[in-house]
């Protein structure tokens, strides 16, 4: 019998080597230990679904608007699509009202905002912004050609149109602390004794003038919007020089049920790459005719 024992032991060892050990299981659900953490992570969910939902504006040419075929186009749209591409997912666009986007508490209805949102102290209380900013724009007054408003001094005591819940409304109200922009970003003081008319988007101010409904003497918006309106033949002109500069960022909801920290960081990395490789500069030149991707305060 002793001569056959080593052969038996060798056969047993070979048999046990062919049976792979079972992977460790979660005590609660039978899933791998990493799964619960991924389920609470917004980036993991986006990658799993293959889609990132992006809030933007359908009436903010040239940043974002609908072409005759009903497709979203514009600078912000190109930026959002490129971010999605580098994440390896598709971009899906939604168009909630601007004041809902800036208020936070999105309820999981969209994942990020690529809508030319200025990073402000007040907004940072409810929103997280990817760093760095993806572009910078000057805030510019404009007025109808027959308004008699030609200089910044002419704006005192006038009625001025802005988009609701915008930095333009905040600046005109004199609440510079809520803006939280660097001192170097301000080029002028707000006009005195103005009456503010807020519309759903500041682009509607130019459209009101084009329609002949002049309930205000001037409006304040991004210089890019003013330029686009002039190119489209709206009878307006710039009033003075830009009054302040804005740093525009991609925003995320701090109250999101799923942790957005990893997605915020990843999008920040992607934006930095897009600055470095010239992608943002190219998009800017395409839509604005100039490079607005560089920080004017540096």
Q: Tell me: the pLDDT tens digits for 185-234?
A: 999 999 999 999 999 998 899 999 999 887 899 999 999 999 999 999 99
Of 38-42, 64-68, 127-131, where does mean pLDDT reach its minimum?
38-42
- Which residue would you say has higher pLDDT here, 178 or 140? 140
Distances (CA, A) of 129 to 98, 170, 186, 252, 263: 16, 19, 21, 6, 11
Q: What value does the mean pLDDT of the chain take?
A: 88
pLDDT of residue 182: 87
| Domain ranges for the chain | 39-135+248-288, 138-246
Q: What percentage of residues in the chain have a pLDDT greater than 90?
A: 80
Contacts 24+ apart (CB under 8 A), 73-79: 74/287, 75/116, 75/135, 75/224, 75/283, 75/284, 75/286, 75/287, 75/288, 76/114, 76/115, 76/116, 77/114, 78/283, 78/286, 78/287, 79/114, 79/134, 79/250, 79/274, 79/280, 79/283
Residue 27 reports pLDDT greater than 50? no
Q: What percentage of residues in the chain have a pLDDT greater than 70?
A: 87
Q: Tell me: the pLDDT tens digits for 103-121?
A: 999 999 999 999 999 999 9
The CATH T-level fold of domain 138-246 is D-Maltodextrin-Binding Protein; domain 2 (3.40.190)
pLDDT of residue 32: 32
> Per-residue confidence at 41, pLDDT binned at 50, 70, 90?
very high
138 - beta bridge partners?
245
Residue 48 reports pLDDT greater than 90? yes
Q: How many CA atoms lie within 13 A of 238 on its CB side?
A: 16
Of 22-31, 239-248, 272-281, where does mean pLDDT reach its minimum?
22-31
- Which residue would you say has higher pLDDT here, 245 or 21? 245
Mean pLDDT of 268-280: 98
Residue 164 reports pLDDT greater than 60? yes
- Which residue would you say has higher pLDDT here, 271 or 13? 271
pLDDT of residue 132: 97
- Establish whether domains 39-135+248-288 and 138-246 are of one fold: yes
**Beta strand 218-222 with 195-199: parallel, antiparallel or unpaired?**
unpaired
> Per-residue confidence at 36, pLDDT binned at 50, 70, 90?
very low
pLDDT of residue 298: 80
pLDDT of residue 116: 95
pLDDT of residue 35: 35
The CATH T-level fold of domain 39-135+248-288 is D-Maltodextrin-Binding Protein; domain 2 (3.40.190)
For residue 178, count other CB atoms closer than 10 A to its CB.
16
pLDDT of residue 214: 76
């Amino acid at each position: 019998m002793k001569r056959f024992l080593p052969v038996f032991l060798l056969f047993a060892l070979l048999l046990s080597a062919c049976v792979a050990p079972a992977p460790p299981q979660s005590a609660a659900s039978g899933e791998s230990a990493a799964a619960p953490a991924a389920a609470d992570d917004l980036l993991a969910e986006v990658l799993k679904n293959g889609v990132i939902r992006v809030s933007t504006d359908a009436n903010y040419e040239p940043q974002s608007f609908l072409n005759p075929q009903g497709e979203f186009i514009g600078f912000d749209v190109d930026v959002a699509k490129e971010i999605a591409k580098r994440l390896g997912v598709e971009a899906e666009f939604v168009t909630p009202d601007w004041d809902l986007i800036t208020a936070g508490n999105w309820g999981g209805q969209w994942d990020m905002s690529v809508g030319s949102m200025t990073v402000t102290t007040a907004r940072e209380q409810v929103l997280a912004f990817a760093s760095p900013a993806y572009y910078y724009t000057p805030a510019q007054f404009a007025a109808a050609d027959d308004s008699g408003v030609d200089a910044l001094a002419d704006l005192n005591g006038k009625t001025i149109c802005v988009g609701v819940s915008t930095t333009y409304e905040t600046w005109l109200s004199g609440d510079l602390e809520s803006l939280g922009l660097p001192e170097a970003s301000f080029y002028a003081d707000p006009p005195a004794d103005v009456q503010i008319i807020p519309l759903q988007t500041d682009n509607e101010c130019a459209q009101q003038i084009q329609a002949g409904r002049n309930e205000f003497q001037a409006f304040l918006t991004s210089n890019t919007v003013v330029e686009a309106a002039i190119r489209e033949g709206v009878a307006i002109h710039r009033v003075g020089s830009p009054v302040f500069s804005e740093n525009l960022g991609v925003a995320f909801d701090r109250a999101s049920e799923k942790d957005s920290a990893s997605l915020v960081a990843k999008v920040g990395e992607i934006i930095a790459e897009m600055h470095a490789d010239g992608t943002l500069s190219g998009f800017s030149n395409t839509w604005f005719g100039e490079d607005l991707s560089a920080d004017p305060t540096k």
